[in-house]
Amino acid sequence: MTRSSAGILGIFAVIAFAALGLTVGQALMDIKQLERTVTVKGLSEREVAANIVIWPIQFTVADNDLSSLYASIESQSQQIGDFLQKHGVAANDISYSAPAITDKSAQAYGNNNGVAYRYTAMQSVTVYSAGIDKVRAVMNQLSELGKAGIVFTGGGYMGQTEYLFTGLNDIKPAMVEEATRQAREVAQKFASDSNSKLGKIKRASQGQFSISARDKNNPHIKKVRVVSTVEYYLSD
C-alpha cells in the first residue's frame, strides 16, 4: 500500500470514529433525557351509604330446669322475630342461631353454691338486610321488648352491628380515573414549575381500595378511598 493510500485510509478512519463518537454521545444524551422522571400520587375519595346491615340481637335466659330454659329461649326468639317483622323486617332477613347453654354446676372452678340459677343460655337473632333505614328505625324501638322482660346483652365483639358496602365495582372505574387525572395535574404543575415538559407514563400502580366508616357515630356512611401512583417522563 502506498503512503498516499494509507493517509487517505487514516483520514476516513478518523472521520468514521468522530461520527461514531457523535452518535454515541447523542444516544447517551437521549438516555439521560429518558432518565428524568417525576413520581406523583393522585387521590380519589367518595362518601357512600352502606347497603347491607348485619345486626346480631343477643339475649340471655336463666333457669334451674333445662326444659323450661329451652321453652323460654324459643318463646323469646319468637317474640323478637314477630317484633322485627311487625316493624317491616322481612322474615327471610332473620336467622336464629343455636343457643349456648352453660351448666354452672358442671364447672370445675369457682364456688357455685350461692348461684340462683343452674343454667344460663345466650341466644342470637341476626338480621341481615338491605333495608338499612328500616332496620335502624327498629333498633331505636327494641326497648319495647326489654320492658316485656327480655334481657338483651351487647357490647362484645360478636354483638356489634356491622354495615357493609358491596357496590365497589360500580364506582371503581370512575374513582381510578379521578385519581389518575389528579396525579397528572400534580405532575403537570411540577413540570411547569421546573421549566420541563411532561412526557409519557413510565409506570403506574393502583393502590388498594379502602372502605371505612366515615366516623364512629355514623358507621352506616362509608368513606371509599384509593391512591394511584404514577411516574412520568420529563423533557426540556
Question: 100-103 and 197-206 as β-strands: parallel, antiparallel, unpaired?
Answer: unpaired
For 1, 4, 60, the CA distances from 10, given in Å and listed in that order, are: 12, 10, 104
Predicted local distance difference test score (pLDDT) of residue 138: 94
Q: Is residue 150 within 8 Å of 59, Cβ to Cβ? A: yes
Q: Do 52-164 and 36-50+165-236 have the same topology in CATH?
A: no
Predicted local distance difference test score (pLDDT) of residue 123: 94
- Name the least confident of 8-22, 198-212, 216-230: 8-22
pLDDT digits (tens, 9 = 90+) for 5-44: 555 555 545 455 544 445 544 544 454 455 789 999 999 9
Q: Is residue 211 within 8 Å of 165, Cβ to Cβ? A: yes
Q: Where do the structural domains in the chain lie, given as residue ranges?
A: 1-34, 36-50+165-236, 52-164
Q: 41 burial class (0-12, 13-18, 19+ CB within 10 angstroms)?
A: middle
pLDDT digits (tens, 9 = 90+) for 83-128: 999 999 999 999 999 999 999 887 656 565 667 889 999 999 999 9
Asked if residue 79 has pLDDT above 80, the reply is yes
Q: Give the up-direction half-sphere exposure of residue 30: CA atoms within 13 A in the CB hemisphere.
A: 6
CATH 3.30.110.170 fits 36-50+165-236, yes or no: yes
Average pLDDT (183-202) is 92
Predicted local distance difference test score (pLDDT) of residue 156: 66
Q: Which CATH class is domain 52-164?
A: alpha beta
pLDDT digits (tens, 9 = 90+) for 123-172: 999 999 999 999 999 999 999 999 999 999 876 667 789 999 999 999 99
Average pLDDT (175-188) is 94
The verdict on pTM exceeding 0.85 is no
Predicted local distance difference test score (pLDDT) of residue 36: 85
Gyration radius from the chain CA atoms: 36
